[in-house]
A and B are shown apart, each in its own frame.
Chain A
Amino acid sequence: MSDIFEIAIVGSGPGGISAAARAAELKVSHVLLEAAPHLSNTIYRYQKGKHVMAEPEALPLRSPLTFSAGSRESILEAWDEGVAKLGVNIRHGAEITAIKKLDDHFELSIGRKDKVLARNIVLGVGLQGNIRKLGVPGDDAPFVQYTLDDPDEYEGETIIVVGAGDAAIENAVALAKQNQVVVVNRRDEFARAKEGNLRNISKAIEDGVIECYFGTAPERVDKLSVGRKPGRLILNTPKGRAQVLCDRIIGRLGANPPRAFVEACGVVFPNADPSAVPAISAKYESNVPGLYIVGALGGYPLIKQAMNQGYEVVEYILGRSVEPADEPLLRAKFQSMAGFTSVSAALEKVQTAVPLLATITPLQLREFMIDSGIRTPKAGEVLFKRNDYTNSFYCIVEGQVEVLVDEAAGKRVALGPGEFFGEMSLISGRRRSATVFAGANCVLIETPRRSMTKLINSVDAVKKLVDRTFVERAIRARFGDEATAAQIKEVVSGATLQRFKAGETLFREGDEGDCLHLVRVGSLTISRTIGGRDIVLSYVPAGNYVGEMAVIGGSKRSATAKAAVATETIRVERDAFRKLMNQNPLLRAKLAQEVKQRTAENITMQAAASGGDIISFLVGQGLGEATDVLLIDESLCVRCDNCEKACAETHGGTSRLDREAGPTFANVHVPTSCRHCEHPHCMKDCPADAIHRAPNGEVYIADNCIGCGNCERNCPYGVIHMSAKPKKKPGLLQWLLLGAGPGPGESPYDPDSHEKKAVKCDMCKDIKGGASCVRACPTGAAIRISPEQLPEYAFARGP
């Protein structure tokens, strides 16, 4: 107890285990502390037989342990063996609950009593977090469990499921087939659940298949020694105390994200954003000296990266220097830059040239550069076109680019070294607003959306600079045709960013018009109260402004504006804006013209009120954040399922759309199919960064998907499936004439294959002629529309 380990490693994920193995190899005194009774809990919990992929392919592995693509079992086995052979000092069941810094060492608390001392700590606890317990006396009784692998295993039991999320609901519904199920929900509804799960559970409760205690909290778990049931749960219900006898209690309360624990160790996060990662040095050291962070917790979500870091961090702790494993990748990248000498020189050059990157840590810069590409385009080359849907971000290291701000007049604006562009589409999730040409000898860094978003969310200085530039450029683009820089600056300085939750009101009909909103993320609906009912008149996607009528006219708001989805606007104050208008008579005339047109439109819309109902319905179905959505006119659809067959046939046998599922309103049916969201939820936690957006807006999943299923969970519209590749099948005429193989639209995938990957609609981006579903529809019932067409579409259908 009194000896102090040189290194204590917390968590035996790929990062921790690799660090421990390296320490054992070097005979450094160490201890590996793992909460679970086995190694690598995150990987242990993958589904049985899962094929684990070794992305990124180009990155070499550096670890005393082996790792290559293969089944979950073979990888865990190899690690178990490796750890045993190297003699790693491991303690299982050692959940670290607190870390205290003493003079020259740390004190790690295990559970409630035990302690371990160490000079250095490697924190590799990953992002999965610790499963939440019931938190009441008796919550560790033998019949209380927190996972459920196979619901069919249980039969004829009374089972209490505690929790109200998707996992709880799915378990409860599956268990109810063969068991008596009681659900305990702290709240009065299932607010966090997905649509489909909500429907299932509500129905099961209504039908009396599942009994549910709402607004109820568990109070205590008792073991019973007499009677038929092994235990009982005492509940605190709104009507008083209740007890339920049971065979089993399953707690599905989610996991505590590790952040609170990490912060309690003294590690600082840059901001409150859930995706923020703590800043660490090039040697993986956090702001607490001696405390190192590796793996997913530090923002590296893949196994190989974590293993490499585990190896390197031990080297660094011992005061040795190693060339990071990604050095060759960076060298290959920088090679194309004129005057390349070494990676570190090139990194420094980038950092001095681009002020935006000046404040980020060396490790962040390395990662940023690994994800990015160096572009050295020829003069005159188009970097991206106006109306493309790409969303990468560019920094200029050398040379300059020209932005075609006014297509008609051919007006171009030059951007020089140190400046950046592409932030508009990155932030708004919408089409490029201008075409950009390369100048002579320019060197650019092109960064994909995920890395840039991560950087923006991790470094406040970057966020501030990007936001300020966005506001300035957006205002100039919208209102600054003939204004002077000083005039624009005045408006910009008073402008603020405002966030609205879905459904929140920006302003109400009859309010004083004190500002104008330029929508930068999300979208709005405009409505008026007519005869006591809210009638939607219009839909405003990002990139447009609202509230100008009252600002110009100096009167009250003529309609109500509401956020259709989570929305961010640039708020421009009335007085500053009026001043700008007075200085620019042309702007004034242009706006007056627009006001006139909008008023006229609103009047026609009001007459066709049912169109507004269609807009409300579609916005409710996610069109407010869509870029392209499949709609089916049920008065034309003959239910032949040719659309689904076409999708399956052109996409390896699995249809990415479910025609029949999904709601219908006024004969407009929204099938379960990808909306190609402006800010795709599915992209959020993709460890392999496999989800991308193509220039025409298609959100697609590339082949480097590792099949983790995060995107399937994150998509609110339930359009992603995990699927294996189908067997090869014979051609069409062979089927028509000889009946060979499965018919069109049918090709069951290989049931034995465990190599499942995420599949979703890619709008047939690789097929000439466009979306197969639409082209295969014999009656014209299936169409795809973008939100810009929404008002027109809705009002064409309103009677």
Chain B
Amino acid sequence: MHDSILDYRGFRYLWVALILSIGSIVAYLWHDPIGVPNGGSWLGYTLGTIGALLILWLLWFGVRKRRYSGATGSVRGWLSAHVYLGTTLILIAFLHAGFQVGWNIHTLALVLMLLVIFSGFFGVYAYLRYPAMMTRNRADSTRDAMLAEIRELDGQTLQLADKVDKSIHDAILSSIQHSQLGGGVWAQLTRRDDSAIALAKLKEAVLKSNGESKQSKSGQTMVMMVDFLANQANDTQSENLRRLIDLVSRKRALATRVARDIQLQALMEIWLYIHIPLSLGLLGALTAHVLSVFFYW
């Protein structure tokens, strides 16, 4: 009952796109212009006009999407058509130009169009693939809930660390101050896991406070913490440390999930930052193309 953008209404717009494509190919093959096929023939004009209208309509999607009380169809139907007819543009544009490309304003339009379209392909891929991954990653929680829990864990960790040892407290405090989720676009996409850095610092602190200078062979923070624990004589102290380890690892697991969540969300949005500006650039280039054709041809 949920159909995706691709199989909307039994692939209705795939068929529309196919018919349009086949029609254009047949016309192109049957059409016999003087000289080489190009945009200047009557078929060229026709296909160019179809292409330009399609582009305007594709751009209009940005408006329709926000006309929430608009009664013309569902946004899903629009997007399904957007995807299929947008793809058809590749063919239509090349047929229109008679496969001639040079270094000029016309080709700029073509290149921009192709970039928009290929970014669109990535968008479709992202839309079909990442949502399920996101759900799995969230494991029935929400990002806000996870962030709230992290904040709480931070508070508890600090309180506890205070009881254990000053150096550990300092390490945790500075790690909390440094840890950050999200951030700039790049940080979001590369999902830097700050809590790993925090743990590294913690490890150092543990080592120092333990009075040992030997490096851990495994390099595992957890192991270090446990080592430290074993060396402590005080019972409540070791109980506190055990709880501290629990808290830090819980936080780390959560932070990893949130970072992944942010990354996936960013992946689902980032391409629109190419798709939309370039589609506006395309509008400019296309206008220039059409004007230049009318003035100078």
Contact = CB atoms under 8 A, between A and B. Distances in A.
A228 to B, nearest CB: 22
B233 interface: no
B75 A778 contact: yes
Nearest to A635: B132
A635 B126 CA distance: 11
Interface string B261-297: 0000100100000000000000000000000000000
B131 A638 contact: yes
A207 B150 CA distance: 12
B163 interface: no
B94 interface: no
Size range of the chain A interface in the assembly? 35 or more
B69 A744 contact: no
A762 to B, nearest CB: 13
A745 B67 CA distance: 10
B74 A636 contact: no
Given A744-B66, A775-B75, A776-B68, A783 B130 contact: no
Given A664-B140, A780-B76, A789 B1 contact: yes
Interface string B144-156: 1000000010001
B74 A774 contact: yes
Nearest to A784: B1
Given A638-B127, A650-B68, A769-B71, A777 B135 contact: no
B135 A634 contact: yes
Interface string A766-777: 011100101111
Contact of B131 (A636, A663, A793): A636
Contacts of A557: none
Given A637-B131, A638-B127, A639-B265, A777 B75 contact: yes
Interface in A642-684: 642, 645-646, 649-650, 660-661, 663-664, 667, 669
The contact size tier of chain B is: 35 or more
B156 A207 contact: yes
Contacts of A774: 74
B142 to A, nearest CB: 5
Contacts of B220: none
B127 A767 contact: no
B2 A781 contact: yes
B79 interface: yes
Given A660-B142, A778-B79, A667 B135 contact: yes
Interface stretch (B3-11, B24-32, B101-109, B179-187): B3-11
B65 interface: yes
Given A650-B68, A650-B69, A780-B8, A638 B130 contact: yes
Contacts of A631: 2
A638 B134 CA distance: 9
Given A633-B2, A660-B142, A768-B71, A778 B65 contact: yes
Contact of B63 (A207, A633, A736): A736
B73 to A, nearest CB: 8
A271 interface: no
Residue picked from B8, B69, B135, B152, most chain A C-beta under 10 Å: B69
Contact of B76 (A663, A744, A769, A778): A778
A325 interface: no
Contacts of A638: 126-127, 130-131, 268
Nearest to B268: A638
Contacts of B74: 774-777
A98 B214 CA distance: 82
A639 B267 CA distance: 12
B68 A635 contact: no
B127 A779 contact: yes
Interface string B43-76: 0000000000000000000110111111101111
B287 to A, nearest CB: 17
A636 B152 CA distance: 32
A347 interface: no
A772 B69 contact: yes
B1 A796 contact: yes
Contact of B142 (A637, A645, A650, A661): A661
B140 A663 contact: yes
A26 interface: no
Nearest to B149: A203
Contacts of B70: 769
A465 interface: no
A772 B131 contact: no
B3 A780 contact: yes
A379 interface: no
A250 to B, nearest CB: 24
Interface in B130-183: 130-132, 134-135, 140, 142-144, 152, 156
16 contacts: A207-B156, A635-B132, A637-B131, A638-B131, A639-B131, A645-B66, A664-B135, A732-B66, A772-B68, A772-B69, A775-B73, A778-B76, A780-B4, A783-B2, A785-B1, A789-B1
Cβ-closest 4 pairs across A and B: A635-B132, A646-B68, A633-B2, A769-B71
Given A639-B134, A745-B68, 14 more contacts: A634-B134, A636-B2, A639-B265, A649-B68, A649-B69, A660-B144, A732-B66, A733-B63, A736-B62, A775-B75, A778-B5, A779-B127, A780-B2, A780-B3
